[in-house]
Chain A
Amino acid sequence: MKTNSGLRNVLILLPLWLGVLTVAALAADQCLECHSSWEEGLDAPSVQFQQDIHSKAGLSCASCHGGDPTLDDMDAVRKSKGYKGVPGAKEVNQFCASCHSNPAYMVKFNPSLPTDQLDKYKTSVHGKRLFEQGDTKVATCISCHTAHSIQPAAEPTSAVYPINIPKTCANCHADADYMSGYGITTDQHEKYIRSVHGRALLDKKDISAPACNDCHGNHGATPPGVTSLSAVCGLCHTLIADNFAKSPHKEAFDAMGYPECETCHSNHLIEKPKMHWVGVSDSSLCVQCHAPDDGTGGYVAAARIYETLVNINSIYNAALARIDTADMKGMLVTDERFALNEVKQAIIQTGTAVHTFDPEAVSKVAEPGITSAQNIAIQGEKKIEEYYFRRKGLGIATLLITILVIAIYLRIKSIEK
């Protein structure tokens, strides 16, 4: 009797359970259910999307692609309300912008995220070519951000994290076949990774060093023009840009159509500045424009600036050599080394002052560093002299003690005889 009652309860509850399970299955995202069961490679979107920022924010496939995600039949999905499917190159930007250009919607997720990406994109070379010329080879949102593994730019795994940006841009810009027909070189990435900026960003992982987007912009990607170049470089090199803007070169370069900073420093392959770039030697950059009789005074100024640079660097090196020697001899030189750092700073400031192209201004900036380096060299010399004084003192003391030891030894022998 008891058994029959239990069986009856099970028979009543079973349909209820089945009903609950059916509702739960229908509520699940059928897009992921089907797409993840596809063969390896084709399942990539569904796999990648698990880690995508949109997935983490609670969005689903249908949030972008539309349609009814509870349906498990693809034909039914295609016919369902709001279905958008896979966007083409021309539609993808609008696709993203449907949310990202809507401040009222975006504020719910990230109030600090700008919503003008599409507007900027339209002003970029990429955007203009896409929208005005119908060029579908240009970069769209997913070219840089990826389609289904989008991460915040601050995430090191993101394709647009500063260290990853050069490679992301190079995916297209270093591909000679892909870029053929655009009339631009494809060696920017190769040059950039050898540049002082590339080495700082990629080798030293210094994310304050500029990547492609820091000079060219990101959504409004546009190459800086001849006259705007110093403004771009000046975003970081403020003092140099300021010095250059006040210098006689600004007007002359603009008049001759020279691309300001790039004229001497080049663009993607920006090297650490060399002292011999300044001056009047054959390897100098100054003599490429200036001659002794050109009437500008530039030739003489270049020679004098070079002299100041050589002076401060050679005095610094001499002081460093003295301090190193004293250090190797075991003398305490921590204060002198600290002071040398200040001289090093003065050398950098002198390099900045070079962009005034005024020998007097350069000399004025270098002077405190030169004086300081001279004092440090004197201190270093004193330390070395002190080292030899100690050795001599030790020699005399040791000799006296040894004489005393011998005298006592002889006295002991004499007593014990």
Chain B
Amino acid sequence: MADKIARENRLFHWVDERLHIQTLVDYMSHKVVPQHSHSFWYYFGGISLFFFVVQVVTGILLLLYYRPGADSAYESVKFIISEVSFGWLIRSIHSWSANLMILAAFIHMFSVFFTHAYRKPREMTWVTGIFLLALALAFGFSGYLLPWNELSFFATRVGTGMAGAIPGVGDFLMKLMRGGEDVTGATIGRFFGLHVAVLPGVFAVLLSLHLFFIQRQGMSEPLEWAANPQFKKYRPFFPNFIMRELLVWLIMLNLLAVLAVFFPDGIGVVHWPLGQKADPFAPPPPVIRPEWYFMFAFQALKVLPAHLLFIEGELAGIIILTAGGIVWTLIPFLAGKFSSGKKPTLIIAFGWAVLAFIAVLTILGYILE
């Protein structure tokens, strides 16, 4: 036993001599995490990160066999799920994990919003987080086309067509995304490049910044603690919080395994059967719908009248949604000062309104289709 400890010490000393990790160990051992009745929400950031790691690993495995192109994309995905050992499992985990990552990120975002964790000095953590969610949605949109099946083809045609409604740059933007007038093999090339190179690169930078901010500033404490310091309670970050985080990650891994095995093609509205190969000349399927996380925006554009005042309905919808997204991103700067212990009711009401808007339109989207 003593030998083992001595060996570990020697190894630590060897590494520390070169990388000075003792400073990091000291920092970690002093780091604490606030402990209160809403501590539960802290885990959703970590859960989102876990699903992202799963995405990277399974994405790399899929990349070994996936071949972009109108003549090879569908065939390669079919090969992955039917011929490659455990290929079906990897694709299923990739798809489930993508959906769960976005769900966890949404929960994380709203939990941060309602606990006012975005307030000074964590404005940049919030902004980088919003950008990360936007990138995650872009991951979802670009990845949806890659199997080149019937549904993905027509959904991408509708999705990219919406960008065409933006005045001035719309047509250029649509052609830029499609690589031409219509969704073709050129679009797969662009979406593939975006999905496996551009987005991961930008995501990695933003994620590093986001995690750096969190580690540097620590977890946000509840508003009430400012007025009632006697309630303050902390838990050591290492090993207590880390082990709890690990516990949650393992539970998520179990959930992922069960979902991937029992529902390899998804279930209900979260569904990704390979189906038929995309055929640009075939009639579109009766129901073309986006992924669930785009449904609220899709439905909002659908329910708008043809014209809103003097602006075309679809364009007005895009302007409203974009403006809403900008306001949401700038919340830490628009919310004003938080006086100690007082709840900002107006901000909370705004948060509930946004949540209700997303929930109601998403549900309506599925009911009315």
A residues near B, CB below 8 A?
A: 330, 332, 334-335, 390-391, 393-394, 397-398, 401-402, 404-405, 408-409, 411-412, 415-416
In the complex, which of the residues B82, B264, B265 has the most CB atoms of chain A within 10 Å of its own CB atom?
B82
Instruction: Produce 1/0 per residue, B274-288, CB < 8 A to A.
Output: 100000000000000
Does B57 sit within 8 A of A, measured CB to CB? no
* A390 / chain B contacts, CB cutoff of 8 Å: 89, 261
Cβ of B50 to closest chain A Cβ, rounded Å: 13
Tell me if B239 and A401 are in contact (CB < 8 A).
no
Beyond known contacts A398-B258, A415-B240, A415-B243: 12 more, CB 8 A cutoff: A330-B264, A332-B274, A334-B78, A390-B261, A394-B258, A398-B254, A405-B254, A408-B246, A408-B250, A412-B240, A412-B244, A416-B240
Cβ of B143 to closest chain A Cβ, rounded Å: 20
Tell me if B243 and A405 are in contact (CB < 8 A).
no
Does B257 sit within 8 A of A, measured CB to CB? yes
Chain A residue nearest in CB terms to B275: A334
* A334 / chain B contacts, CB cutoff of 8 Å: 78, 274
Instruction: Produce 1/0 per residue, B228-260, CB < 8 A to A.
Output: 000000000001100110110011011001100
Tell me if A332 and B250 are in contact (CB < 8 A).
no
Does B81 sit within 8 A of A, measured CB to CB? yes
B residues near A, CB below 8 A?
A: 78, 81-82, 88-89, 239-240, 243-244, 246-247, 250-251, 253-254, 257-258, 261-265, 274
* B89 / chain A contacts, CB cutoff of 8 Å: 390
CA distance A301 to B31 in the complex (A): 90
Contact among A332, A394, A401, A412 for B261, CB-based, below 8 A:
A394
10 closest A-B pairs (Cβ-Cβ)?
A394-B261, A401-B254, A408-B247, A405-B250, A412-B243, A332-B82, A390-B261, A401-B250, A397-B257, A398-B254
CA distance A393 to B258 in the complex (A): 11
Beyond A332-B274, A390-B261, A408-B247, is A415–B239 a contact (Cβ under 8 Å)?
Answer: yes
Contact among B81, B82, B247 for A405, CB-based, below 8 A:
B247
* B265 / chain A contacts, CB cutoff of 8 Å: 330
In the complex, which of the residues B81, B247, B262 has the most CB atoms of chain A within 10 Å of its own CB atom?
B247
Tell me if A391 and B261 are in contact (CB < 8 A).
yes
Tell me if B247 and A402 are in contact (CB < 8 A).
no
CA distance A371 to B345 in the complex (A): 74
Interface of A is mostly: helix
Chain B residue nearest in CB terms to A401: B254
Cβ of B226 to closest chain A Cβ, rounded Å: 26
Cβ of A294 to closest chain B Cβ, rounded Å: 54
* A405 / chain B contacts, CB cutoff of 8 Å: 247, 250-251, 254
Tell me if B253 and A409 are in contact (CB < 8 A).
no
Beyond A330-B263, A390-B261, A409-B247, is A401–B253 a contact (Cβ under 8 Å)?
Answer: yes
* A393 / chain B contacts, CB cutoff of 8 Å: 261
Tell me if B257 and A398 are in contact (CB < 8 A).
yes
Cβ of A414 to closest chain B Cβ, rounded Å: 10
Cβ of B82 to closest chain A Cβ, rounded Å: 5
Tell me if B257 and A394 are in contact (CB < 8 A).
yes
Cβ of A416 to closest chain B Cβ, rounded Å: 6
A sample of 19 cross-chain residue pairs with beta-carbon separation below 8 angstroms, ordered by A number, consists of A330-B264, A332-B82, A332-B88, A334-B274, A335-B82, A391-B261, A393-B261, A394-B261, A394-B262, A398-B258, A401-B253, A401-B257, A402-B254, A405-B250, A408-B246, A411-B243, A412-B240, A415-B240, A415-B243
Cβ of A333 to closest chain B Cβ, rounded Å: 9
Cβ of A263 to closest chain B Cβ, rounded Å: 45
Beyond A397-B257, A398-B258, is A332–B240 a contact (Cβ under 8 Å)?
Answer: no
Chain B residue nearest in CB terms to A409: B247
In the complex, which of the residues B88, B240, B243, B250 has the most CB atoms of chain A within 10 Å of its own CB atom?
B250
Chain B residue nearest in CB terms to A383: B82
* B81 / chain A contacts, CB cutoff of 8 Å: 332
* B253 / chain A contacts, CB cutoff of 8 Å: 401
Cβ of B89 to closest chain A Cβ, rounded Å: 8
Tell me if A408 and B243 are in contact (CB < 8 A).
yes
Cβ of B239 to closest chain A Cβ, rounded Å: 6
* A397 / chain B contacts, CB cutoff of 8 Å: 257
Cβ of B294 to closest chain A Cβ, rounded Å: 26
Beyond A394-B258, A402-B254, is A412–B263 a contact (Cβ under 8 Å)?
Answer: no
Chain B residue nearest in CB terms to A387: B261
Chain A residue nearest in CB terms to B276: A334
CA distance A398 to B260 in the complex (A): 12
CA distance A391 to B89 in the complex (A): 12
* A402 / chain B contacts, CB cutoff of 8 Å: 254
Tell me if A412 and B247 are in contact (CB < 8 A).
yes
* B258 / chain A contacts, CB cutoff of 8 Å: 394, 398
Cβ of A22 to closest chain B Cβ, rounded Å: 55
Chain A residue nearest in CB terms to B81: A332
* B274 / chain A contacts, CB cutoff of 8 Å: 332, 334
CA distance A84 to B88 in the complex (A): 81
Chain A residue nearest in CB terms to B265: A330
* B254 / chain A contacts, CB cutoff of 8 Å: 398, 401-402, 405
Chain B residue nearest in CB terms to A398: B254
CA distance A330 to B239 in the complex (A): 42
CA distance A334 to B246 in the complex (A): 40
CA distance A411 to B250 in the complex (A): 15
